[in-house]
Amino acid sequence: MAYHIPEVIVVEGNHDKALIQKIFPKADVVITNGAEVSRETMKELKALSTQRGLILMLDPDYPGARIRRKINDHVGLTKHVFLPKHTCIDSIKGKVGIEHAPNQMIENALRFHVKHSEHRHSIQAKELYKRQLIGHKNSQSKRKLLTQSLNIGMCNGKTLLKKLNMFGIDLNVIDEVLR
């Protein structure tokens, strides 16, 4: 039996993402790459918000609050997880960030969003290979067509696999786009 968080968790950076996925290995996490969230990322977040919902788990500082406002203004209502600032401070450098919070605090903050699930179908790399989206001479152009049609942003094969599963896109949809 597996546990998963049905919504997509939004964090600021790769260290935040790594910590979340260490605690919840099956969690889907999107990073904003800091305060200047790209238009492409905003489009992805809007689509994910509609399909799965978002949980914003951003740093408890001014830039984190600014990102929250920016995302909420663009995508609408989202769920929020707030951690106390004093628990998110690096003891050596004094920097504030979710990645500095104790694992137990992150787990407790997200546990209300955990759902019990038997299994969630996911697309496998071999299915992308079969459709020539990876490992073939024309894979990049096929990925470009697919990602533009689905509004999920151009990416490499590994990221495409992750995004397709995160968005819950069915193989039938992929086949229809590639016809």
Residues 148 and 89 in one domain: no
pLDDT at 26: 87
pTM of this structure: 0.72
Give the model's pLDDT for residue 31: 96
What is the CATH number for 39? 3.40.1360.10
**Domain end position, chosen among 95, 117, 139:** 117
* Helix 139-150 and helix 171-178, axial crossing angle in degrees, nearest 10: 110
Same domain? 96 vs 142: no
Q: Looking at the structure, tell me whether residues 104 and 137 fall in a common domain.
A: no
- Judgement on whether residues 67 and 152 belong to the same structural domain of the protein: no
| Number of domains composing the chain | 2
Q: What order do you get walking across the sheet with 8-11 strand by strand?
A: 29-31, 8-11, 54-56, 79-80
Same domain, 130 and 112: no
Same domain, yes or no: 148 and 65: no
- Write down the pLDDT at residue 3: 59
Give me the tens of pLDDT residue by residue for the chain, a chain 179 residues long.
355 788 999 999 999 999 999 999 989 999 999 888 999 999 999 999 999 999 999 998 999 989 998 998 999 888 888 888 888 998 898 899 999 999 998 988 887 666 544 445 689 999 999 999 999 999 999 999 998 887 677 789 998 998 888 777 889 889 988 98
Q: Which of 134, 167, 168 is nearest to 153 (CA)?
A: 167
Phi, psi (degrees; rounded to nearest 5) at 125 = -55, -35
Looking at the structure, tell me whether residues 12 and 52 fall in a common domain. yes
Domain with 69, as residue range(s), is 2-117
